[in-house]
Amino acid sequence: MNTGLFIFDTKARELKEVCAKNGFEVQIYCCGPTVYRDAHVGNLRTFLLGDLITRTLTFSGTSANLIQNITDVGHMGEDFDGSEIGEDKMLAQSKAEAIDPFEIARKYEATFHRDLAGLNVIPAAKYPKASETIPLMLDLISNLIASNHAYVGSDGCVYFAANSFAGYGDISGNRLDSLKPGHRYEYVDDGAKKFHADWALWKAAENRTQMIWDSPWGPGFPGWHIECSAMSLHFLEGNVDLHLGGIDLRFPHHENERAQSNSAAGYEVVENWVHGEHLLFEGRKMSKSAGNVVLLSDVIAKGLDPLSLRLCFLENRYRSQMDLTWDALKAADTTLNRWRGKYTNWCEDGDVDEKFVADFTEGSLQDIQNDLDTPRALQQLRKLEKDEFLSGATKAACFEVMDQIYGLDLQRGEAPKVELTPELENLLEARRVARLDKDFAKSDEIRDLMAGLGVLVKDTPGGQEWNWI
Which CB sits closer to ligand AMP, 33 or 153?
33
Q: Binding to Zn ion (CB under 5 A): which residues in 346-405?
A: none
Closest separation in Å from C-beta 292 to ligand AMP = 11
Cβ within 8 Å of residue 229, ≥6 positions away: 140, 257, 260, 261, 264
Distance CA 234, CA 228 (A): 10
Q: Is 33 in the site for ligand AMP (CB under 6 A)?
A: yes
CA distance 153 to 159: 7
CB of 75 to ligand AMP, least distance (A): 6
Q: Which is nearer to Zn ion, 31 or 455 (CB)?
A: 31
* Of the residues 249, 307, 329, 427, which one makes contact with ligand AMP according to CB under 6 A: 249
Helix (H, G, I), strand (E, B) or coil at 55: helix
Tell whether the torsion through CA atoms of 206, 209, 215 and 216 is positive or negative: positive
DSSP 8-state class, residue 278 = P
Rounded least distance, CB 443 to ligand AMP, Å: 40
Using CB under 5 A, pick the residue from 20, 39, 228, 450 that binds Zn ion.
Answer: 228
Is 49 among the residues that bind ligand AMP (CB under 6 A)? no
Q: Does 396 bind ligand AMP (CB under 6 A)?
A: no
CB atoms within 10 A of CB 306: 18
Interaction partner, residue 228 (Zn ion, ligand AMP, none; CB < 5-8 Å by kind): Zn ion
Cα separation, 432 vs 434, in Å, equals 5
Interhelix angle 307-314/41-59, nearest 10 degrees: 70
Nearer to ligand AMP, 199 or 360 (CB): 199
Biggest distance spanned by C-alpha atoms of the chain: 85
Q: Which whole-number Å values give the CA distances from 370 to 363, 376, 403, in the listed order?
A: 11, 10, 18
Cα–Cα distance for residue pair 69/33, rounded to 1 Å: 7
Q: Identify which of residues 31 and 124 has a Cβ nearer to Zn ion in the complex.
A: 31
Nearest Cα to Cα of residue 49 among 131, 121, 154, 141: 121
Least Å distance between CB 321 and ligand AMP? 9
Residue 248 in the binding site for ligand AMP (CB under 6 A): yes
Q: Does 31 bind Zn ion (CB under 5 A)?
A: yes
Calculate the CA 345 to chain-centre distance: 34
What is the smallest separation between the CB atom of 260 and ligand AMP, expressed in angstroms?
18
Nearer to ligand AMP, 43 or 335 (CB): 43
Binding residue (CB under 6 A) for ligand AMP from 246, 306, 392, 407: 246
Which run of H or E residues covers position 427? helix 422-436
Per-residue DSSP letter, 358: H
- Binding residue (CB under 6 A) for ligand AMP from 42, 50, 222, 392: 42
Q: Contact at 8 Å (CB) between 352 and 394?
A: yes
Nearest to 41 by CA among 349, 285, 207: 285
Indicate whether 31 belongs to the interface with ligand AMP (CB under 6 A).
Answer: yes
Helix or strand run (H / E) with residue 139: helix 134-146
**Considering CB distances under 5 to 8 angstroms, the limit depending on partner class, which of Zn ion, ligand AMP, none binds residue 65?**
none
Query: Which of ligand AMP, Zn ion, none has residue 376 at its interface (CB below 5 to 8 Å by kind)?
Result: none
Whole-angstrom Cα distance, residue 330 to residue 36? 29
| Interface characters, 266-285, with ligand AMP (x: CB under 6 A) | ----------x-xx------
Quick check: 45 binds ligand AMP (CB under 6 A)?
yes
**CB-nearer residue toward ligand AMP: 90 or 161:** 90
- Choices 27-35, 353-361, 413-421, 435-443; region in contact with ligand AMP by CB under 6 A: 27-35
What residues line the site for ligand AMP (CB under 6 A)? 31, 33-34, 42-43, 45-46, 71, 245-246, 248-249, 276, 278-279, 286
